[in-house]
Amino acid sequence: MTKPILHHHNCQQADCNMCFEDHIALGEYLEERTHLFHVDHLGRYRGWIDKHGIPAETEWGWATAETFDEENIEAYIKEASDD
């Protein structure tokens, strides 16, 4: 599975379909990479992001570029897989 990317940086459209699809793709990617199914990976990843002091979302509710950062994603996957 290809690593998801954030297409609209700092999107200001609260009902943006592209951003919604990016978020869904991120959740599916986390599921595939951790091999943990039936888990709210977006919720768990958000908690991981917050725990590490990383800005998670914009004022419009969409993810920041840091949320889609490959190093952050890989660190979450490693930690989630170790659980």
Question: In this structure, is residue 10 part of a structural domain?
Answer: no
Question: In this structure, is residue 8 part of a structural domain?
Answer: no
% residues pLDDT > 90 (the chain): 63
- Determine the average pLDDT of the residues in 41-61: 92
Range of the domain at 26: 17-82
Three-state SS string across the chain, please? CCCCCCCCCCCCCCCCHHHHHHHHHHHHHHHHHHCCCCCCHHHHHHHHHHHCCCCCECCCCCECCCCCCHHHHHHHHHHHHHC
Question: In this structure, is residue 58 part of a structural domain?
Answer: yes
Number of domains in the chain: 1
pLDDT digits (tens, 9 = 90+) for 10-36: 888 889 999 999 999 999 999 999 998
Question: In this structure, is residue 78 part of a structural domain?
Answer: yes
